[in-house]
Amino acid sequence: MGHFFQLKENGTTVRTEILAGLTTFFAMSYILFVAPATLSLTGMPSQAVFLATIVASVAGTLVMGLFANVPYALAPGLGLQAFFTYTVVAGLGFTWQEALALVFLCGVINILITVTKIRKLIITAIPTVLQHAIGGGIGIFVAYIGLKNAGFLQFTSSASGLLSVNGKAASGSFTHGVSSVVTGGSGITPALVNFTQPGAIVALIGLLLMAVLVVKKVPGAVLIGIVATTLIGIPFGVTNLHLAAGNSLGEAISQLGTTFGAAFSSKGFGSLFTDTHHILLSVMTIFSFSFSDIFDTLGTFIGTGRRTGIFSDEDMANMNRGSGFSSKMDRALFSDAIATGVGSIFGTSNVTVFVESAAGIGAGGRTGLTAVVVAACFALSSLLSPIIAVVPSEAVAPALILVGVMMMSSFKEIDWSNLAEAVPAFMASIVMALVYNISYGIAAGFIFYCLIKLITGKAKDVHPVLWVVTAGFILDFVFMAIL
């Protein structure tokens, strides 16, 4: 095992990798319960989505661990699930079978651009300053997720700032209750909670405990903190020890027959390209799917892999001058590319590298053994989902906050006194965190970097690929506005 995963060469041990894998899994295990709740709104059977999520996560993460030998975990992306459900199906009127067909085509495109080295060209075209900004930005993003999940934040919205309630104009009464509220940014004010809620108190205790363990460099500090916080949550009523029946494996297998291969049915590809208008919408939707998927993954790789040495300078050099799968980055990109195709076949939305992988990397994970442990946990979760649900989000939140702190060290590499570098770096990192989207942050950084180079007469310093990608981002924003 040590030889296969090159543990000694990567300065890690079996124990560290196992702890890192467990940490990553608990940080992202929420997807097992969020994915069925979100995608079932399209009419997909929730139990089938639950099992499809596990199958896609296991397959993608295993390939990442065994083929690429890097500590990244994959699962259906939360943002792409929302796009699948609320925009593609609810907004554009595609059936869920057609939407799965679009996701499959997105996976094929991702494989093609990986095999033809287009993805590698994009990576080499990203300026060093933006690579550091992406790393620090993901740190802010991860920490913000932690702060939000810990229950430390509350948001007050003025009546004038309400844009919609339950997807409709914010006026009148809602006899069936309120399920969603959209508020304009100018009408909302964030604040710190007053720590009277049990969840926030437990998360605060967990954060203090975990901070001490991390500073003291206690082995397995993050995972120990998660377990300890889960136990602390019991007397507060935050940790729910009631082992509900949860998702039945037998029922999930039965329902999986509904979604497996649905993308290739008469309701999927069979009706996808029936008229010209449908074809145009399909192309625009695939483009949006692909752009978000590609740059979510690239952002996570660049933000975490370069800083920690998972993707070393030597490995990046091998990627640039080699052919085939000559580097870990080549293999990691290919592993990510095939995962989306697998997910769409079984019945789930785009599979992508989870930013929560940073939690396991922060716990010391450096090789594919971490990913294999995550994959094993996902496989077991098909049987043990009620037990996994016992770990509250308040126990995982402190880990995300501390990992975010560690990742923000990338900011020290940026020359903040040089506004030509500081402005695009700031836009990339802050937008990424505050709009809750890695791809949009990268887009903001690219657009401002190209604009500043253009107006300062240094347009030739911008790699041609970066110009093309930036134009693609602008088109993507236009498409999203049209959609």
pLDDT tens digits, 184-208:
766 678 889 999 999 999 999 999 9
Q: Clarify whether residues 398 and 417 are in a common domain.
A: no
- The answer as to whether 112 is a domain residue is yes
The parent domain of residue 443 ranges over 412-482
Is the pLDDT reported for residue 177 higher than 70? no
Q: Clarify whether residues 425 and 376 are in a common domain.
A: no
Domain boundary among 410, 435, 462: 410
Q: What is the pLDDT of residues 277-311, one digit of tens each?
A: 678 788 878 888 888 888 888 888 988 887 778 98
Domain boundary among 410, 438, 473: 410
- The answer as to whether 242 is a domain residue is yes
Is the pLDDT reported for residue 54 higher than 80? yes
Q: Clarify whether residues 208 and 323 are in a common domain.
A: yes
Beta bridge partners of 192: 153
In angstroms, the Cα distances linking 306 to 241, 310, 366 are 40, 6, 12
46 contact partners, CB below 8 Å, separation of at least 6: 36, 37, 39, 40, 255
Q: What is the pLDDT of residues 307-318, one digit of tens each?
A: 778 988 787 777
Token match 């363990």: residue? Answer: 213
For 440, the 3-state DSSP assignment is helix
Q: Read off the pLDDT band of 247 (50, 70, 90).
A: low
Q: Clarify whether residues 66 and 202 are in a common domain.
A: yes
| In contact, 365 and 24? CB cutoff 8 Å | yes
Q: Count how many domains the chain has.
A: 2
- The answer as to whether 464 is a domain residue is yes
Domain boundary among 410, 445, 461: 410
In angstroms, the Cα distances linking 312 to 10, 225, 302 are 11, 30, 11
Q: Clarify whether residues 321 and 435 are in a common domain.
A: no
% of residues, the chain, pLDDT over 90: 47
- The answer as to whether 386 is a domain residue is yes
Q: Clarify whether residues 461 and 332 are in a common domain.
A: no
pLDDT given for residue 252 in this prediction: 83
- The answer as to whether 171 is a domain residue is no
Q: Read off the pLDDT band of 167 (50, 70, 90).
A: low
Q: Clarify whether residues 219 and 353 are in a common domain.
A: yes
| In contact, 330 and 340? CB cutoff 8 Å | no
Q: Clarify whether residues 395 and 426 are in a common domain.
A: no
- Bigger pLDDT: 390 vs 248: 390
Beta bridge partners of 183: 162
Beta bridge partners of 188: 157
* Helices vs. strands in the chain: H and E counts, helices first: 21, 7
- The answer as to whether 474 is a domain residue is yes
- Residue 188 φ then ψ, to 5°: -125, 140
Token match 């792409």: residue? Answer: 80
CA-based angle 393:305:222, to the nearest 5?
35
Is the pLDDT reported for residue 264 higher than 60? yes
Q: Clarify whether residues 387 and 425 are in a common domain.
A: no
Residue 473 half-sphere exposure toward CB, CA atoms < 13 A: 21
